[in-house]
Amino acid sequence: MPGVSAKRSPTDGICDVPCVEERKVRQTRKAMKSAAAVATLAETFKVLGDPTRLRIVFALSRDEMCVCDLAASLGVSQSVVSHSLRALRQMRLVRFRKEGKIAYYALDDDHIATLVGEGFRHVEEQ
C-alpha cells in the first residue's frame, strides 16, 4: 500500500540508504528543484561567498562605480577587482558600461541587492 511510512530495503530502487520515513523521501524528491536550477544558484552563492566579491557587490548596491574606485574603496589591487568582476559578470550579478577608458559597473538586477541585504540582516541579528 503506497503512502505508508516503513523501513526500506537497500534494493528498492530509490537509493542504497535505508531510511525511516519513505513518504518524506518521496515528497522531498518530488519538490526538489531541477539540477540546473540548483547548480546555478549554488554557483551564484559560491561567487558571493568570497569577502572581496561580496564587498564589491555591497559597494555596487549603493551606486555604480569604476574599477579603480572599487579598488581604492576596498584597498585591493586593480587585478583582484578585475578578476572578481569577471566572476560576478559570468553569473550575471553585475553589468557594465564603458565610457572612454573607464568601465562603470553596476548590479545587474535588483534581486542581488535584496539577497545581500537580506543576508546582512541575518548575520547582524547575531
- Would you tell me which residues interact with a copy of itself (CB under 8 A)? 8, 14-15, 17-21, 24-25, 27-29, 31-33, 35, 37-51, 54-55, 58-59, 62-63, 65-66, 68-69, 71-73, 75, 77-78, 102, 109, 111-112, 114-116, 118-124
Report the nearest approach of a copy of itself to the CB of residue 11 (Å).
13
Min dist. Cβ of residue 118 to DNA (A)? 21
Instruction: Tell me the C-alpha distance between 40 and 46, whole Å.
Output: 10
Distance CA 51, CA 41 (A): 18
**Which residue lies nearer to a copy of itself by CB, 40 or 89?**
40
Closest CA to 65 of 88, 87, 96: 96
Residue with cell string 530495503: 9
From the list DNA, a copy of itself, none, partner contacted by residue 123 (C-beta under 5 to 8 A by kind): a copy of itself
Beta bridge partners of 96: 105
- Binding-site ranges for DNA (CB under 7 A): 7, 18, 20, 46, 49-52, 66-68, 76-87, 96, 100-103
For the sheet containing 94-99, what is the strand order?
65-66, 102-107, 94-99
Cα-trace Rg, the chain: 22
Beta carbon nearer to DNA, 84 or 116? 84
